[in-house]
Structure 1
Amino acid sequence: MSALAGKTAIVTGASRGIGRGIAERLAGDGALVAVHYGHSEAAAHETVRAVEEAGGRAFAFHADLEKPDAVDTFYAALDAGLAERGAGPEFDILVNNAAASGSGRIHELTAEVFDRLFAINVKAPLFLVQRGLDRLRDGGRIVNVSSAATKRAFPESVTYVMTKGAVDTMTPALAKELAPRGITVNSVAPGYVATDMNAHRRTTPEESAALAAHSVLNRLGTPADVADVVGFLVSDDARWITGQCVDVSGGYKL
């Protein structure tokens, strides 16, 4: 039997990149996957199509996590999608992957960008957990996607790193709070992964090589590199791991 058979998983920001990789992995392990997207509807449906072509089950739903009513919109759309499939509203797995980047250096920062990044990267995952606690089954799993950049000085995107630092401190706090229900809460910290988020930094072979050199394995990560670790953390094999941040950076700046 598949490791996640009979379970329902939500992956935020799953239309592309790491989120798509996670959705495909969890569906491959047998879960019904709710593919959340903020803006890329066509890409989200591509994720669903890829899952279904591989024999899995998934559906897409929309919520703009920057908006003040983001959590209400999120759960209303999720409930509708689950109901269409005769499921829900309960679920077993929440992967907080959706994130915005691009804050720049301190002298480039604006209040608008600061507010946007904290709304999507910090406020949304925290309140998605809060609102979802009466739906998340006992023994469930929460995985937050952080960043290896929090472990080193990263002035190139100061606010983005601040948001991921908040994710790092939120994770063990939630792990302790939810432990009596058998719910584990962990995070993963990718390094440079070949996704749309950093495509502007690898427009030439030389730029790609420079990013790859941050890993001691001398390559860029792939969405599957991260998704496979998430797949482990949400499985029963990881039942004794909680409150941890797992580095999935290929040895970032060792």
Structure 2
Amino acid sequence: MSHTTIPLPGAADHPSVPPSAIVSLRGVSKVYGSEETRVVALDDVDVDFLQGRFTAIMGPSGSGKSTMLHVLAGLDTASSGRVEIEGTDLVGLSDDELTRLRRDRIGFVFQSFNLVPTLDARANILLPLKLAGRHPDQSWFEEVVATLGLQDRLSHRPSELSGGQQQRVAVARALVMRPAVIVADEPTGNLDSEASREVLALLRDAVDHLGQSVIMVTHDAASAAAADRTLVMRDGRIQADLDHPSVEALGTVGL
């Protein structure tokens, strides 16, 4: 599916998108309310998310980190600016086109696993393909299942799986579509420390061994330290852009 990129007023004031960027934001602002109730959640943000990288987004409550994730994933619309996924500008897409893009090119991993309780693990993993009317690539399915260690759990329903196993199924479901990018919104928020480490390892494996691109919002410095890069948000802007930061380094940026 291809779309014509629609130029926006002022777009020429911002640098062009580099070819290795899987997701790009140019001059993106998001404003809620007006006058006395006006809140600027994102303030003229320029950022590229590179292919094959694991990027974490951190920041205090109200910093704009979740808003940025929702805007770049097409779950919310920017008030101004340009948002591109694989060179496709989300501005100007119809609701149907945006739905298809989210379904086909974005994998979602949330705090709640959102598994269908009446379906076994195999059916849950394949559900996005079924909804899209597409046949699974069996070799890719088997590679994902093997990488996530789910071979002997495919016939189990969610109630028969541990929390960590359910999250593995959720990650596999996000991967099976071969998305351009996986977005993870606080994926360890409801898990204990051991299960959190497991989920971070799964996302790390998706990048290192399956060639995926991952963008994760987290409030936890230890989780962010598992990423290749961490963006620290404050007041709707990127305050720091850190390459392979340590937990200690993240503790010095004023979260």
Q: Which protein is richer in strand relative to its size?
A: 2
TM over 0.5: no
Q: Which protein is richer in helix relative to its size?
A: 1
With structure 2 as the length reference, what TM-score do the two structures score? 0.33
Structure exhibiting the larger radius of gyration computed from Cα positions: 2
With structure 1 as the length reference, what TM-score do the two structures score? 0.33
